[in-house]
Amino acid sequence: MVLKLHGLPMSTSTTRVMICLHEKGLDFELVPVDLFARENKQPLFLAKNPFGQVPVLEDGDLTLFESRAITAYLAEKYKDSRNDLIRHESLNESAMVKVWSEVESHEYDPVVSQIVHQHFVAPMIGKTSDQTVIDENLEKLGKVLDVYETRLSNTKYLAGDFFSLADLHHLPYTFYFMKTPWASILNDRPHVKAWWEDISSRPAFEKVAVGMVFGEK
């Protein structure tokens, strides 16, 4: 039974899951959801995700939404194959994966997503991008990345000296952020830059990045 992922190849939340699937070497079927035709707000889709968002994963009779719940499920189910993204054999290491996954969710994502939305998505949906929002969030992002710079001068990856879900979850929005005029905020911080270059050159991510076409004509 093949895993089915409902979503789009340029969506940050869909790609978050796709990267995880590729890291685990899993076959899956990507079922496109036509967001522009509001397919995600139709009853058939709402029955899968009542919040009307992508992605949705179907694994036999199990239907899941929320990208970080899906990656956690896949990382747990396939924990013994390839890299262990959740470090299940060490309670201390798995706790650190959870800490830095929460950091991505609560400190990083709300800030970087605003910048990416204003810069790429707003123009795509016929709105003007709000520079005030961008500026506020660039300042916040600088402070968050200062914390990352200190952390990454002590460990190779966020949760420790091992690549984990905590790093993986950052890939989609950071990829788009690095295509904005403000990439220097990341590049000016040498440990963050080295970490970004490392995680974004992983083969699983490179496969997915091909479809991430915001900002390209």
Partner 1 sequence: MAAIKVYGAAYSTAAARVLATLHEKGLDYELVHVDMITGEHKKESYISRNPFGQVPAFEDGDLKLFESRAITRYISQQYADKGTSLEFSDPKKQAVANLWIEVEAHHFDPNAQKLNYELTVKPVILGLETDHSVVAEYEPKFEKVLDVYEERLSQSRYLGGDSFTLADLHHLPTIQYLLGSSAKKLFESRPRVNAWVDDITSRPSWTKVVELRNQAFKSSKKE
Taking the complex as a whole, how short is the minimal distance between the CB of residue 206 and partner 1, in angstroms? 27
The tokens of 51 are what?
A: 């919040």
- Computed from CA positions of residues 214, 45, 50, 20, in that sequence, does the dihedral angle turn out positive or negative? negative
Contact between 147 and 153 (Cβ < 8 Å): no
Name which of 32 and 110 has its Cβ closer to partner 1. 110
Name which of 71 and 118 has its Cβ closer to partner 1. 71
User: Which residues of this protein are in contact with partner 1, per CB under 8 A?
Assistant: 50-51, 62, 64-66, 68-69, 72-73, 76-77, 91-92, 94-96, 98-99, 101-103, 105-107, 110, 144, 147, 150-151
Taking the complex as a whole, how short is the minimal distance between the CB of residue 210 and partner 1, in angstroms? 27
Name which of 53 and 202 has its Cβ closer to partner 1. 53
**8-state DSSP, 41:** G
Taking the complex as a whole, how short is the minimal distance between the CB of residue 105 and partner 1, in angstroms? 6
Taking the complex as a whole, how short is the minimal distance between the CB of residue 110 and partner 1, in angstroms? 8
Which 3 state secondary structure label does DSSP give 84? coil
Cα 86 from Cα 97, distance rounded (Å): 6
Name which of 21 and 103 has its Cβ closer to partner 1. 103
**8-state DSSP, 106:** I
Compute the CA torsion angle 197, 199, 201, 206 (nearest 10 deg). Answer: -130
